[in-house]
Structure 1
């Protein structure tokens, strides 16, 4: 897992040749310049999902983990908590990994690490990082967030 601000993105572009396009797309977005839906990027198997929602409490929340895609989250407006835990340490698996949705699901454990994702910050989550996004920090609030999906394995 990597949490940082957009101004430091050059430190991470060497991790994968496809990362640069995500950071360039993030720089083009602002609360007033915010597209809707899904956008495919130039790199094969890379896309953006633009989401607007109200952060939620943890009641009934599930962790997720992926095998094929990295999640690159960028908070455009607002803030939320993303709970993170090493995938191998999850206690109760609710749904084994399914290739069709590239996800396995598990109950949100009490010992997960809360990570605050605020406007201007990005979070890179790897397959080892089970995560539960969209949770409130101190209160529910409207957020605008971009979720980048970058395939790293076929």
Structure 2
């Protein structure tokens, strides 16, 4: 798991060529004016998903992990709390292989992500995105799915 500001992306060059492509896309794309939707960065290997939503109450958020993808979650505008944890011996209550996701009881530690911040989340990183910071508010986020 990596959490940082996009201006520090140079520190993570070389983690993988696909992560490099994703961070490059984030830093060089006018995401504020990018429409909601799905965009191929490197075919099906690196896919960007621009989304907007109202942040959730913590009890409505779901802690998850993935099997075949690394997530990079970047806050374009707004802010949210994201629960974070390390997958050790937790047992998922729901697994949906065709959507590459497993859901777990939420026992994560919340961390505030603000505009311009990103999180790189590997398959062993539990994350519970989209939780409110104080009040429910609008968030525009980019989620990049990187096939491992």
Normalised TM-score (structure 2): 0.92
Q: Does 1:102 align with 2:103?
A: no
Q: Matched residue of 1:138: which SS? A: coil
Q: Does 1:74 align with 2:70?
A: no
Q: Matched residue of 1:100: which SS? A: helix
1:21 deviation in Å?
A: 1.9
Q: What is the rounded CA distance, in whole Å, between the counterparts of 2:43 and 2:17 in structure 1?
A: 9
1:45 deviation in Å?
A: 1.3
* Counterpart residue number, 2:130: 134
- Alignment: residue pair count: 147
Would you say the 8 A contact 1:78–1:141 is kept in 2? yes
Q: Matched residue of 1:41: which SS? A: strand
Normalised TM-score (structure 1): 0.88
Q: What is the Cα-based RMSD across aligned positions, in Å?
A: 1.5
Going from structure 1 to structure 2, the CA distance change for 1:35 and 1:21 (only over 3 Å counts) comes to: farther
Q: Does 1:145 align with 2:146?
A: no
Q: What is the rounded CA distance, in whole Å, between the counterparts of 1:63 and 1:9 in structure 2?
A: 26
Q: What is the rounded CA distance, in whole Å, between the counterparts of 1:70 and 1:123 in structure 2?
A: 10
Q: Does 1:57 align with 2:57?
A: yes
* Counterpart residue number, 1:6: 6
Would you say the 8 A contact 1:69–1:102 is kept in 2? yes
Q: What is the rounded CA distance, in whole Å, between the counterparts of 1:81 and 1:60 in structure 2?
A: 13
Would you say the 8 A contact 1:29–1:76 is kept in 2? no
Q: Matched residue of 2:58: which SS? A: coil
Q: What is the rounded CA distance, in whole Å, between the counterparts of 1:89 and 1:57 in structure 2?
A: 26
* Counterpart residue number, 1:116: 112
